[in-house]
Amino acid sequence: MPLRYRLTKSLFMMPVMMIAIAAHAQKVQLNNHTVPVGKPGALIGQLFNGAAPAKAAKLVEDTSGLFTIAKNGEIRLKKRASLVKEDAAYQYAITVSTAAGKEGFILVKDNFNRNKVVAHRGAWKHHEGSQNSLTSFRDAVKLGCEGSEFDVWLSSDGVPVLSHDPEIGGKKVEETPVAELKKVELKNGEVVPTFEEFIREGMKQNTTKMVLELKPSRVSKERGQQLAQACMDLIRQYKCEGWMLYISFDYDICKKVVAIDPHAKVAYLNGEKSPAELAADKIWGFDYNWKVIDKDMNIFKEARKHKVTVNIWTVNQPGQMDTYLKAGADFLTTDEPEMALEKVK
């Protein structure tokens, strides 16, 4: 019988909260950070040095004792190790070394929902939370959404903060320091959260993905690149890759994210790129407005052909939901997650 590990959550939460916020170039990358439940010996992922599989890989530290690593960089659960869905533990810190250097990762138990529903700016329409607030994210988690989308800009002093619009509380986000933005009160009484605060909240659970929208800069294309770098630095510092999906209207931002992490799941929002073009640029999927989709429903077939994912925004009508789900949409981004969740039951 496989061993069934029952470990306390706190054992694996502690290293996360003590991470030093200091960016570094990532020499070793992992193409998957989630650990399947109930599958002894399962393959977790492959280590890479750039585009090539890692060489001379070793497992330097594994506080859980659950994992093993092959010299070619494959990380697996041990043959007699099996995760249990109901256990409190869900974060597992490991450190690996390869010919290119040493790197730490947090693997997350894959209890993530698979129901296609992405709450647009969180679950807020029928709840107390404001859009793009920590409360709206928590409510999306409580509903059981697969993902919760949120929007991020770069403050004038280089801190990623949440806001849908370029202005919030009468302040232009990109021209205002974070200390001033933190004084802005949302409708539900919370203040504007930083992306770092959002990461900390998101990592408290492992059922709903954080869907990060990186907003195109109103200042310059270069500033959009800086936003992407700042967000990816925070993600690496917190080692939360297993929780993340990425979207942007700025194609150069999408490509920047992929350049930093070739295994990041990035979708493009603007609507003019074909599935073939996205696949050629190693973009994971598209996230197009329903009006774009309705102009050519053949895009579903093309997406499957080129192995890119299909997300559609903002789908709020029941008939639309039925149509896109029947056509094979991978995700529906909606202001009505409660309705969408009923549709996918």
CA–centroid distance for 255 within its chain: 16
Rg (CA), the chain: 20
Q: What ranges do the domains of the chain cover?
A: 3-109, 117-343
**Side-chain-side CA neighbours of residue 80 (13 Å):** 4
For the domain made up of 3-109, the CATH class stated in words is mainly beta
Give the pLDDT of the chain (345 residues) as one tens digit per residue. 333 333 333 333 333 333 333 444 678 999 999 999 999 999 999 999 989 999 999 999 999 999 999 999 999 999 999 999 999 999 999 999 999 999 999 999 999 999 999 999 999 999 989 999 999 999 999 999 999 999 999 999 999 999 999 999 999 999 999 999 999 999 999 999 999 999 999 999 999 999 999 999 999 999 999 999 999 999 999 999 999 999 999 999 999 999 999 999 999 999 999 999 999 999 999 999 999 999 999 999 999 999 999 999 999 999 999 999 999 999 999 999 999 999 999
Strand order, beta sheet including 91-98? 34-35, 101-109, 91-98, 58-62
Domains 3-109 and 117-343 in one fold: no
Predicted TM-score (pTM) of this structure: 0.93
Q: CATH number for 117-343: choose from 3.40.50.300, 3.40.47.10, 3.40.50.1370, 3.20.20.190.
A: 3.20.20.190
The candidate with the shortest Cα–Cα distance to 30, out of 15, 49, 56, 55, is 49
